[in-house]
Structure 1
Amino acid sequence: MSDTVESRDHDTFLSPVPNRVRDEKSLSALWEHSRLQCGRLLLRWARDPATLIQALIYPALTLVMFRIVLGDSITAVTGQSSIFGTVPMIVLVGAMFGSVVSAVGLRGERDSGLLGRFYTLPIHRSAGLVGRMMAETTRVFVTSLVIFAAGVAMGFRFTQGIGASLLIFVVPLVFGLGFAMMVTVLATVPGRIPLVELVSIICTMLMFFNSGFVPVMAYPTWLQPIVANQPMSCAIDTMRALAIGGPVAEPFVKTLAWSFGTVAVFLVPAIRGYRRAAQDG
């Protein structure tokens, strides 16, 4: 009788048998673990006021200010409503400044040892970085929805059909992926580089020297080729053409080249930096 009780008590405290066993290096494990990391980050960002301010509130207020201060002047010079350049520009600004807050959070996870604790778990080694890129893409998409909705309230319109209207949301996703990869590398660099200040300078330079801020012809002649071909201008020109018509192929190809080129340059440093940050933590 006592043996039966002991056996029953022993079985009570046994761990349940897992019904989904995956090799931690398999593609299925990569997808599952990346999805969980993505969900963790999205939940944390949704609860973080700094992220909401930088990714949503700041871009929306910037859009309103640009519309009030420069809207009529640009429209008078170009004969075209400035809203079709300002809205795409602010969508990209939201993507960039959101990445800055995300990078600060990544550095905090490194310093607190959270990345190190994740590294000791039986999860796919690439899940942390892949999940972060998934979360960044989701954040950029949500930001784009909010800014385009605000733009529509101010006069922005999608005039080129459903296909172009859907493709216009792809542009900031591609742009944001490349920028997020670069910022991730900076966030995992050993030491205490002034991350926020450095990336903010980059964002500010791009924001004030692009074809969405003012027309390219308004810049000095020697600066016009640089402004016309910098990554933000290419993405803005693509979104403007998808909204109201115009050449799409050239600026879109340039946008893809800039974004995928940035990913290609920073992918290996991001992988190595993320692994080093996790091991050091």
Structure 2
Amino acid sequence: MTTEYRSDSPATVTFPEVIEPHPENSLTALFSHSLLQTKRLLLRWARDPYTMLQAIVYPALMLLMFWAVLGISITKATGVNSVFGTVPMITLVGAMFGSIAGGLSLKKEWADGLLSRFWVLPVHRASGLLSRLMAESVRIVLTTVLIIAVGFAIGFRFNQGILAGIALMLLPLLFGVSFATMVTALAVNAAKAPLVEILSLLCTLLLFFNSGFVPTGAYPTWLQPFVENQPMSCAIDAMKGLSMGGPVAEPLLKTIAWSVGGLLIFTYPAVRGYRRAAGNPA
């Protein structure tokens, strides 16, 4: 049995009858509504050339550029194939810049009033924010797989086995979800201030001051503690250990600490800011 909606236009839209309605605030509704909105976001990003370029195409091209321009020189200077540092670095860059593109898209939806329109629909209130993190997770995984595939073409390998390789691929996801939470918090708490854009500049600086670009020892002595312990370097060093061998425990614990710390700090501002943004169009 179906319900038909007719208008002055000749087209007829047919909606399926709701057989088992779930309370708006139930866990079942949260799950189903989040999946539906995740699909919406992924389709929206896939149809946006800017998002696709910044999240997928740009990181892959950057990897090839670093390999062609600097890879051979760094390999000769260090005696270690540079791709074992460059590939992890670019997976993190892809996660970060993709989240920034998503944050800018979120600000546009806020300005256009789309968040407010979704807020008044009979959907679970938490599904809007949760779906964004789910969509970010899917994007990060796809981007990581693509970058590692390109890396394999230029010499990257899982020398420590497939389980270590799987763990390596999960680190950009952990790092990226934490970063996406921070971007979301900044996006929904600043309608006019260009916080997300400023964050993009900061990420560009971090790109040139981490252990994936060149080894930590190549930096000035006074700068090495910062380079070694900044979030990108911790994740890169852990991924190096999981791919070509070397220390894993310490950089892995640092990466987890940075990521969990980011989630703890920015989850509440993201939730509160999203509620305020949805209730008050920019």
Give TM-score, length-normalised by structure 2.
0.92
Corresponding residue for residue 170 of structure 1: 170
Partner-residue secondary structure (3-state), 1:89:
helix
Residue type of the partner of 1:267? T
Q: After superposition, where does 1:7-156 map in structure 2 within 5 Å?
A: 18-156=18-156
Alignment RMSD (CA, Å): 1.5
**1:216 shift after superposition:** 0.2
Give the length in aligned residue pairs.
270
Corresponding residue for residue 236 of structure 1: 236
> Which stretch of the first structure deviates more once superposed, 101-110 or 19-28?
19-28
Identity among equivalent positions (%) equals: 57
Rounded to whole Å, the distance in 1 between the matches of 2:241 and 2:95 is 20
> Bigger radius of gyration, 1 or 2?
1
**Higher share of residues assigned helix:** 1
Partner-residue secondary structure (3-state), 1:245:
coil
Rounded to whole Å, the distance in 2 between the matches of 1:132 and 1:166 is 24
Partner-residue secondary structure (3-state), 2:221:
coil
Partner-residue secondary structure (3-state), 1:101:
helix
Rounded to whole Å, the distance in 2 between the matches of 1:140 and 1:227 is 24
**1:20 shift after superposition:** 2.1
Partner-residue secondary structure (3-state), 2:275:
helix
Rounded to whole Å, the distance in 2 between the matches of 1:104 and 1:72 is 36
Listed one character per residue, the Cα deviations across residues 172-201 of structure 1 (whole Å, up to 9, x for unaligned) are 000001110111111112431124530211
Q: After superposition, where does 1:160-239 map in structure 2 within 5 Å?
A: 160-239=160-239
Q: After superposition, where does 1:255-274 map in structure 2 within 5 Å?
A: 255-274=255-274
Corresponding residue for residue 10 of structure 2: none
Rounded to whole Å, the distance in 1 between the matches of 2:132 and 2:4 is 39
Residue type of the partner of 2:33? H
Corresponding residue for residue 4 of structure 1: none
Rounded to whole Å, the distance in 2 between the matches of 1:174 and 1:144 is 12
Rounded to whole Å, the distance in 2 between the matches of 1:275 and 1:151 is 41
Give TM-score, length-normalised by structure 1.
0.93
**1:29 shift after superposition:** 1.1
Rounded to whole Å, the distance in 2 between the matches of 1:157 and 1:20 is 50
Residues 220 and 28 (structure 1), Cα distance of their counterparts in 2 relative to 1, 3 Å cut? same
Partner-residue secondary structure (3-state), 1:19:
coil
Partner-residue secondary structure (3-state), 1:42:
helix
The runs of at least 4 aligned residues of structure 1 exceeding 6 Å deviation read none
Rounded to whole Å, the distance in 1 between the matches of 2:230 and 2:113 is 37
Partner-residue secondary structure (3-state), 2:105:
helix
Residue type of the partner of 1:71? G
**1:226 shift after superposition:** 0.9
| Kept after mapping to 1: 8 A contact 2:211/2:228 | yes
Residues 67 and 120 (structure 1), Cα distance of their counterparts in 2 relative to 1, 3 Å cut? same
